[in-house]
Amino acid sequence: MGVVDEPSRWSIEKFGPDLARDLRSRIPKALCRAVELAQQAREASALDTDHAFGPVRWKQQYESLHEHLRDLPGVTDVHPPGAQVRVTICRDHLLLPWLYARRRGVDMCRVGGRVRSQLVRDLLILFGPKPDYEEPILPGMPLNPDEARDRTLLRQAIEQLASRPKVLLIGFACNSDEGLLAVSWGEAALTSDRRLEWGPVEDLITPN
């Protein structure tokens, strides 16, 4: 069965029917463009590795997302303190691109790897849903690096632009040979071991 070309009730409740349709159409195109630019960088580098592809793709996944969405109603962006990228905000939702696979046929919700991006972890900790179970911090136990981080400036920067911020992860699969392979978006809580506990998820149509 193919991906449904209409927004779900979940995405309509977030953005309304018209904006949800626009986002579902434009987000895959934005990521497709980001991956294309990364492929061009690899080709220009004349390397047979992804040393040029990876960094360009990572930067462009944020930049291209904003370029494709900036004229939609309720869209703005924020440059988090200390971050090298800007985050697109749409109606109080932080749109965070996240590479979950480099091959076809991978179920985003079953990816077992940990979230490596510090920015994504920070925003999920601040504004993401809470996991079903949180390990209690025992007295006298040292805090792990995520628990010990001071996120005051990041929280302030976001809350100046979004009154009720929420995190919406935009997961995608790609590689430097085949380009963009799949795109989904959804809500997830970050567990204490940096893994994702998924709530609602919706697949988006990948451009041909």
| Arithmetic mean of pLDDT over the chain | 92
Query: Looking at residue 148, what is its pLDDT?
Result: 82
- What are the start-end ranges of the H helices in 93-181? 118-127, 145-148, 152-159
* Sequence spans of domains, the chain: 9-131+142-204
Instruction: Label residue 1 by pLDDT band (50, 70, 90).
Output: very low
> Which tokens is 22 given?
């626009």
Choice between 144 and 193, residue whose per-residue pLDDT is larger = 193
Query: Looking at residue 5, what is its pLDDT?
Result: 78
Q: pLDDT tens digits, residue range 18-76?
A: 999 999 999 999 999 999 999 999 999 988 889 899 999 999 999 999 999 999 999 99
Identify the CA nearest to 177 among candidates 65, 105, 102. 102
pLDDT at 176 over 50: yes
Q: Cα separation of 46 and 101, whole Å?
A: 24
> Which tokens is 86 given?
């800007």
Looking at the chain, the number of H-run helices and the number of E-run strands are 6, 6
> Which tokens is 112 given?
């077992």
